[in-house]
Amino acid sequence: MHHHRAFMSAEPSKLSAIARRELASSPRLDSPDLYLNPHLGLLAFQRRVLEEAQDKNTPLLERIKFISILSSNIDEFFMVRVANLWQQLETRTTEIGIDGRSPLEQLELIRVEITNLTTEIYRLWHDEIMPELNSAGIRILKLDELSTQNRIFVDDYFAREVYPVLTPLAVDQGRPFPHISNLSLNIGASVTNGDGVERFARIKVPGTLPQLLALPAGEPHELSFVWLEQVIIANLGMLFPDMEIVKADVFHVTRDAELAIQELETEDLLESIQEAVWRRRFRDAVRLQVESGMPQKLVDLLTSNLELDQNDVYRVDGPVDIGRVKALLNIDRPALNDKPFMPSTPKGFGGPRGEIFKTIQEGDVLVHHPFESFQPVVDFLRAAADDPDVLAIKMTLYRVGRNSPIVEALLDAIQNGKQVAVLVELKARFDEESNIEWAQKLEREGVHVVYGLPNVKVHCKMAMVVRREGERIRRYLHLGTGNYNPGTARAYTDLGLFTCNEEIGADVSDLFNHLTGYSAKKAYRKLLVAPHSIRSGLEKLIRAEMERQTQHGDGHIIFKMNALEDAGMIRLLYEASRAGVSIDLIIRGVCSLRPGVPGVSDNIRVRSIIGRFLEHSRIFYFHNGGEERVYIGSADLMPRNLNRRVEVLFPIENARMLRRIRDKILEKYLADHVAARIMQPDGSFIRQANKPGRKVLSAQEWFMKHEA
């Protein structure tokens, strides 16, 4: 694997003065200088998440929530992005980045930034969060801080609950170095039997037990915990009787988790994904986190066996795998959390289920989650399952979550004799196992289950209910920007549309036939569908806005999305900016476009909003001389979304809804000067200062007051 990596130094991603002068005099839109590295852009987003955890105005347990989110984001960053760069190096399929950097240069910059981020996370935890937890009467104790009584409790808990689960694995001539699975927390112990020879053993910290052990309450309103690994280390003598424990340290391994699935060589996609998920545990290691005090000898033993080198080792000042602080989020202290809010129910929903179809017949309904409830989506499917006039239900499922009411509604529909067809995307990263489980359950009950398409992921969000009404058949649709997952619908901002528009219905029918059958259809009446027509459709709309600007001077584009990484789309936006079109981009995560570069992107402004809810809706707005056009849907402007996924953008044609999206939703995001960060030409983000006399506005707060 990757032994002895020679790193090259790489300059940080800033426009040099010379490059700036050259660009200003004769900017070439394909110059790598004009594009920011997406991997570094994703780390810049992680830094914005860290700022939320650092914000003293955020309630304490919510700050801890942001630390746990950040930790799992960084895990995923290694498992996917860093692993991909290493794969390129090892297979010699080196792709030069959008910014002209080689994989090696990118890896070096990533390492510097991750080291800085990690240092700051632990500084925040030790210097601010821990003292605040103490003040709130919540203490995480070290073993030497335990009272005698608590120490007896801990040892007893170990003997009863922990000891039977542990498997100490010795490493010696007869016993090879054990496999260390992805994201597992481990204890590396050096033990001796008095002969002066140190032997190594590994103990896996069980993920099935609470990571923070709650201690018996001392004072009322006081809570005390101790980390599970400390409980184990304190009792290693039970695992190694008559041996002396020299040293014990905690470590954590991250592995490459990309699923390489050779779809063309396999008959059964379901089976090959099950196998690939299982094999994921054994992929190459890409990061080793160790406690800062771990002896170098032990670090060397780990790196040589994991085929890593010192550049892949991150020493941290405990607790290792800080994402486990999410165990604290179950503490019942409302004062330390965000104030709860109740989503509203859109008009026409929430009454008897049978009336849902009547409501949709009367006019399209737009729902804005989480400010408006996700329940109407569940009720829509339940109504379809119960309604004697409904003949069929078809839907796509990507990330559904466990014990899903959506899956229950589909099972009820089958029992009530409806035709049910579901397209399940098994390749939904990190949800593969959950998807396999309930896809098989649906199949057993008689649902037609189709597992994605070869070589593309199906990422669009759509549900269609076919209903007999007298002499005619009517199609009712739900199209959305988010997954059919009631859990994430409470935490993500998304938009959904209920409609029985005939042309959209015909398009959705055609698209389902393409997904489940052999239809080669590429053109649709109303929908833009990737991988065929989203890129060309948006290009046409952007060019129309440029034309409009040339003739009338009122070209305006507003795009809201999670990420902008596609070089072709960025170049087109640069062209539109040069043509004078005013462009506002609201981008939560990666933005590889540089705003405000003279002669290139003077007319482009980029803002990022991170807050209580994860911004997830995608909106594409074109002023079109006052006859506005708006598309919403599941696609970000990334090569994977435009080229390798089935995505849908659908038009909003109802005038009232258009006004709501433009004036109530987009306008509030553009006026936000509380959560919003403004992107600079060098890729950094700064907070906006509030102007005197201006009313303080946070978009998400406003939605909670006015939309919920």
Catalytic site positions: 459
Q: What is the pLDDT of residue 12?
A: 44
The Cα–Cα gap between 119 and 317 comes to: 9
**pLDDT at residue 3 is higher than 70:** no
Q: What is the pLDDT of residue 440?
A: 84
- What b-and-e string marks burial along 559-589, b requiring 16 or more CB atoms within 10 Å of the CB? bbbbbbbbbebbebbbebbbbebbbbbbbbb
The Cα–Cα gap between 531 and 542 comes to: 18
Q: Say whether 51 sits in a helix, a strand or coil.
A: helix
559 touches 619 (CB < 8 A): yes
22-36, 351-365, 563-577, 675-689: range with lowest mean pLDDT = 22-36
Q: Say whether 524 sits in a helix, a strand or coil.
A: coil
Q: What is the pLDDT of residue 268?
A: 63
Mean pLDDT of 177-185: 89
Mean pLDDT of 432-453: 81
pLDDT band at 6 (very low <50, low <70, confident <90, very high): very low
Common-topology check for domains 34-117 and 353-519 = no
Query: Which CATH class name applies to 529-706?
Result: alpha beta
Q: Say whether 473 sits in a helix, a strand or coil.
A: strand
Beta strands in 508-628 (DSSP E): 528-530, 556-561, 582-587, 604-609, 614-615, 618-622
Supply φ then ψ for residue 370, to 5 degrees: -90, 10
Supply φ then ψ for residue 152, to 5 degrees: -65, -45
Task: Read off the pLDDT of residues 467-500 as tens digits, 9 standing for 90 and up.
Answer: 999 999 999 999 999 999 898 899 999 999 999 9
13-22, 619-628, 642-651: range with lowest mean pLDDT = 13-22
**pLDDT at residue 527 is higher than 60:** yes
Supply φ then ψ for residue 78, to 5 degrees: -70, -45
Spatial CA neighbour of 310 closest among 3, 71, 90: 3
Assign a CATH topology to domain 353-519: Endonuclease; Chain A (3.30.870)
Question: 71 or 347, which is more confident?
Answer: 71
Name residues whose C-beta falls within 8 Å of residue 639's C-beta, 6 or more positions apart in sequence.
Answer: 565, 566, 567
**pLDDT at residue 648 is higher than 60:** yes
Q: List C-alpha distances in Å: 370 to 217, 361, 615, 690.
A: 37, 24, 10, 27
461 touches 632 (CB < 8 A): no
Q: What is the pLDDT of residue 95?
A: 82
**pTM, 2 dp:** 0.91
Name residues whose C-beta falls within 8 Å of residue 171's C-beta, 6 or more positions apart in sequence.
Answer: 177, 178, 199, 200, 201, 202, 301
**pLDDT at residue 694 is higher than 60:** yes
Task: Tell me the residue length of the chain.
Answer: 708
**pLDDT at residue 265 is higher than 60:** no
Spatial CA neighbour of 74 closest among 324, 279, 323: 323
Name residues whose C-beta falls within 8 Å of residue 348's C-beta, 6 or more positions apart in sequence.
Answer: 355, 356, 358, 359, 362, 365
204 touches 196 (CB < 8 A): no
Q: What is the pLDDT of residue 10?
A: 41
Q: Say whether 375 sits in a helix, a strand or coil.
A: helix
Mean pLDDT of 78-91: 87
**pLDDT at residue 570 is higher than 70:** yes
pLDDT band at 419 (very low <50, low <70, confident <90, very high): very high
pLDDT band at 433 (very low <50, low <70, confident <90, very high): confident
Return the amino acid letter for 576. Answer: A
Question: 198 or 335, which is more confident?
Answer: 335
Spatial CA neighbour of 183 closest among 212, 207, 213: 207
Q: What is the CATH number of domain 162-210+227-331?
A: 3.30.1840.10
Q: Nearest-5° angle of CA 159, CA 209, CA 163?
A: 20
26-35, 299-308, 603-612, 653-662: range with lowest mean pLDDT = 26-35
Task: Read off the pLDDT of residues 111-123 as tens digits, 9 standing for 90 and up.
Answer: 999 999 999 999 9
**pLDDT at residue 345 is higher than 90:** yes
127 touches 204 (CB < 8 A): no
* Residue 543 token pair: 């060019």
Q: What is the pLDDT of residue 516?
A: 82
Question: 41 or 181, which is more confident?
Answer: 41
The domain locations on the chain are 34-117, 162-210+227-331, 353-519, 529-706
| Rg of the chain taking only CA atoms, in angstroms | 27
Q: What is the pLDDT of residue 282?
A: 54
What are residue 651's DSSP bridge partners? 631
Task: Read off the pLDDT of residues 275-316 as tens digits, 9 standing for 90 and up.
Answer: 666 555 557 899 999 999 999 999 999 999 999 989 999 999
Q: What is the pLDDT of residue 632?
A: 98
Supply φ then ψ for residue 45, to 5 degrees: -65, -40
Cβ atoms < 10 Å from Cβ of 553: 10
Q: What is the pLDDT of residue 421?
A: 94
- Name the architecture of domain 34-117: Up-down Bundle (1.20)
* Residue 581 token pair: 């079109």
Spatial CA neighbour of 203 closest among 186, 221, 178: 186
Q: List C-alpha distances in Å: 450 to 378, 426, 566.
A: 21, 10, 30
Helix (H) or strand (E) holding 411: helix 405-415
Mean pLDDT of 128-139: 97
